[in-house]
Amino acid sequence: MAEEIKDTQVDETEAQTTTETSAETTETSAEETKSFTQAELDDIVAKRLERERKKYGDYDDMKAKLGDLEKEAEERRLAEMSEKERAEELAQKYQAEKDAMSQQLTAYQEQVKQERINNAFITQATTANIAYIDDAIKLADLSAVEVGEDGVVKGVESVIAQLTESKPYLLAQKETPQPKQVGGGASNGGQGTDKSGEQLLAEAAQKAKETGRTEDRAAYSRLKRQLSN
């Protein structure tokens, strides 16, 4: 009989537990399915954003404090170093700066050297009646050309001579001079060939100015020399 009573009590306890669990589940489901209005959602989002802003609100202050701490740490490190160690570190920094400046100076000197060599080549090529200056300077071997301490470029003449001998097509074609007219006709104002020469020279100068090409400048120089003869 006692066992039957005990079994009955156990069954009642299990039934009560099941009922309570079911009630809790129903209540939880009701809470989970609760809908929020747009205002409530906006308020929730705003509160979360505000919390995030508070997290990073002191970022600038923290950054400044970190900079101060790093500065203090560097000062302490230098203070703890011996005089010899500080001198060695300063010497290393000085040497690094010196090497960097030396490299920059070398690069600048090389650039100036190449500009002087190119300018000397253009001058000599124009004198040698080379028409295609840009092509000539690309084909020329300027490795043996040197710039003296006085700034004078040496060795360009031999380069020009070798170039005109091996690449004769670079030379300008010789023009047959036109015989000068005596007097002059009415069509050119009585100035004859001199008027035409001035016009050609002006046109060549204008073309060289507009294009800026080396060949056009060289052509203008050649025409000017021809007309002056």
Asked whether residue 36 is assigned to any structural domain, the reply reads no
Does residue 77 share a domain with residue 163? yes
Does residue 202 share a domain with residue 168? no
Asked whether residue 181 is assigned to any structural domain, the reply reads no
Q: What percent of the chain has pLDDT over 70?
A: 69
Q: Which residue has the higher pLDDT, 144 or 76?
A: 144
Please say if the pLDDT value at position 6 is more than 50.
no
Does residue 73 share a domain with residue 146? yes
Does residue 153 share a domain with residue 75? yes
Nearest to 224 by CA among 210, 212, 208: 208
Q: What is the pLDDT of residue 191?
A: 45
Q: What is the pLDDT of residue 59?
A: 66
Which tens digit of pLDDT belongs to each residue from 96-119?
998 899 899 889 989 988 899 989
Supply the pTM of this predicted model: 0.40
- Residue type at 212? G
Asked whether residue 217 is assigned to any structural domain, the reply reads yes
- Residue 5: pLDDT band by 50, 70, 90 thresholds? very low
Asked whether residue 197 is assigned to any structural domain, the reply reads yes
Does residue 215 share a domain with residue 159? no
Does residue 199 share a domain with residue 159? no
Does residue 200 share a domain with residue 166? no
Mean pLDDT of 150-169: 88
Asked whether residue 156 is assigned to any structural domain, the reply reads yes
Distance CA 225, CA 177 (A): 13
Does residue 211 share a domain with residue 161? no
Asked whether residue 94 is assigned to any structural domain, the reply reads yes
- Residue 34: pLDDT band by 50, 70, 90 thresholds? low
Does residue 163 share a domain with residue 97? yes
Q: What is the pLDDT of residue 53?
A: 67
For the chain, the average pLDDT equals 74
- Residue 12: pLDDT band by 50, 70, 90 thresholds? low
C-alpha dihedral over 103, 109, 115, 120, to 10 degrees? -150
Domain range for 228 is 191-229
- ∠ CA 127-133-134 to the nearest 5 degrees? 160
Number of domains present in the structure of the chain: 2
Asked whether residue 205 is assigned to any structural domain, the reply reads yes
